[in-house]
Structure 1
Amino acid sequence: MPRPALAAQRIVSLLPSATELVCALGLGDRLVGVTHECDGPPEVGDLPPVTRTLIPPAATSGEIDALVRERFEAAGDDRPALYTLDEDALAALDPDLIVTQALCDVCAVAEADVQAAACRLPGSPRVLNLEPTTLAGVFASIDAVGCAAGVDAGPVVRALDARVRAVTERVSGRARPRVVVLEWLDPPFSAGHWNPELVRLAGGAEVIGQEGAPSRTLDWAEVVRAAPDIVVVACCGFTPERALKDVGAFDGVAGWETVPAARDGRVVVVDGSGLFARPGPRLVEAVELLAHLFHPDVQPRPDGVAPPVWLPGLPVAA
């Protein structure tokens, strides 16, 4: 029989962002299982993973893109299986709450698979689906997890919101650089959903990505035509070190040397995995980091965030 509707005591997170969110609420001691990608905060390091990916760890960005497209084509109207759930491990953990998502088709176990697995578990755990596409949606997700766990998320949300407001006040009235955030380089992808909003809050103007809209594949010519003052490389799922292996994608792009960001050394590589791809509390750090990149004289780099890597500028085209 289903458990009574009590505050969750045994939580399994199927999203790195949800893991960080649960811990931000002070509920880390209730986490019993996480994903293979959950890498923070440090206290989750010893928790058992209940997922695995079908993407080879040594695959290049181009190979990953090709694999994803191939699986989407083969799946047809169904969601492609890029992540799998270890149902035996999940059952052994006996969760009463499973936190998942249905927002991104390539970022986590399919929600339908999670729901089906939950129905097969003896305790019939609740499945909480998070689908934020904006910063406000992320704050609402924090409230939803807090409600499911029986804790007041208000203080956490208010503290995060206050940090964002402090940034917007610092950059208010300043000239806004033209910005393009790229979440993939081979091929290039715009950064969608919350990322254009983060750029705006940080005092920039995203000139390709649309607030709340999904990311999309770009043609390099579109990036060149956009003439951004700053290009932020925030590759989805990649650390800065891994993303730096792909910056050769800029070589040979027709007209790249005419782009202000490329010419002036204003192409910067950041932690796409930890700060930009996960709709959780660290998006506030992303706002602070972007404001630091755009307006360093008024916004310091956030504590604990590694310095971004700026690529050297290019000669002016003859």
Structure 2
Amino acid sequence: MRIVSLLASGTEIVDALGLGECLVGISHECDHPPHLLDRPRASRPRFDPEGLSSGEIDDAVRKAMIEHGSVYEIDAAVLERLAPDIIITQAVCEVCAVPTSGVREVLGARGIEAEVVSLDAHTIDDILASLGQVARAAGNPEVARGPGSSLRRRLDGVRAAVRDVRPPRVLGIEWFDPPFAPGHWVPEMIELAGGLNLAGEAGRPSREVSWEEIGDLDPDALLLMPCGYGLEAAREDADTHAERLERVAPRAVAEGRAWVVDASSYFNRSGPRFVTGVEILGGLLHPDRLPAPDSEVAAVWTPSV
């Protein structure tokens, strides 16, 4: 069995299932787990985001979509050489990862015969079901039982810890320029961790909002989680938009309940580490009930002077 994952969360799922030896290729964005990162990369972005602000990235994404219909390019020669039996991709967001439609187009053009496994998760249950989807495609559905049960037990642990709490009102912001309210599984993560989500709808795409639209929410807690950003990049981008963020959530910032998180690893991806994201949130919102997260994955945000 030869698997190519063109999706970062897909690579993490392959590893969680113990199928790493079958993985022969990965995408440009795959960065976890470390022991699988020596595989050939079968995709690349159409622009280099390094050093760009969130507004500049947004402009580049929109331009790539207009000119090419996609933000990413599949390396067809690499894919052909890898001769995969299975290719893991997604159709949830054309901006976030290589889309299923692009994969099918390359397969048809090159005459590559491979099963396309599209992991189209929109909810927490969908993410958990993705483990079984990959396991079945690999011909070994039983390997999903253990990892799936373990993830559910951890979620149940958080749910039990915060069952009788008074939920703080939480505003999550998934992009700053323009601002986006989180969608898909993230609102569920906030609620499961004992918060009341104020903007964004579970199971629906992340939604562009205006600063004026969220300006009167006055949340108890502010969660800064720009899509695809690690902790330090999120902090730097938040600092760039500090004036607006302070205006949107004055109490949360003043009371030390505004946080930046490693969104790329634990919130944006539809892979197993979203459970760690729920645990991180539980520790931030209810430190009397759950362990505080490590400073490398979440930190209090205060505007730099």
TM over 0.5: yes
What is the SS of the residue equivalent to 1:189? Answer: strand
Q: 1:68 aligns with which of 58, 61, 69?
A: 61
Aligned to 1:32: 24
**For the structure 1 residues 213 and 299, does the alpha-carbon distance in structure 2 shift closer, same or farther, using more than 3 Å as the test?**
same
**Structure 1: runs of 5+ lacking an equivalent:** 1-8
The offset of 1:122, in angstroms, is: 5.3
The offset of 1:110, in angstroms, is: 2.8
Is 1:228 the equivalent of 2:235?
A: no
- Written as runs of structure 1 = structure 2, the 5 A alignment for 1:1-318 is 9-56=1-48, 57-72=50-65, 74=66, 80-121=69-110, 124-151=113-140, 152=142, 153-253=144-244, 256=247, 259-301=250-292, 306-312=296-302
> What letter is aligned with 2:51?
A
Backbone CA RMSD of aligned residues: 2.0
Once the two structures are superposed, residues 47-89 of structure 1 have per-residue CA deviations (whole angstroms, 9 ceiling, x without a partner) of 11000001322322110111223344x36xxx82210000100
What is the SS of the residue equivalent to 1:180? Answer: strand
Once the two structures are superposed, residues 266-310 of structure 1 have per-residue CA deviations (whole angstroms, 9 ceiling, x without a partner) of 1110011111110010110011000000011111146x7824121
**8 A Cα contact 1:96 1:123, kept in partner:** no
Q: Structure 1 CA distance, aligned partners of 2:279 and 2:104?
A: 36
**Structure 2: runs of 5+ lacking an equivalent:** none
Q: Structure 2 CA distance, aligned partners of 1:254 and 1:312?
A: 10
Number of equivalent positions: 301
Q: Structure 2 CA distance, aligned partners of 1:135 and 1:253?
A: 31
What is the SS of the residue equivalent to 1:167? Answer: helix
**8 A Cα contact 2:92 2:121, kept in partner:** yes
The offset of 1:17, in angstroms, is: 0.3
Identity of aligned residues (%): 39
Structure index of larger Rg: 1
**For the structure 1 residues 34 and 307, does the alpha-carbon distance in structure 2 shift closer, same or farther, using more than 3 Å as the test?**
closer
Once the two structures are superposed, residues 133-189 of structure 1 have per-residue CA deviations (whole angstroms, 9 ceiling, x without a partner) of 001001111110011112211221111011001100000010101001111112211
**8 A Cα contact 1:118 1:127, kept in partner:** no
> What letter is aligned with 1:141?
S
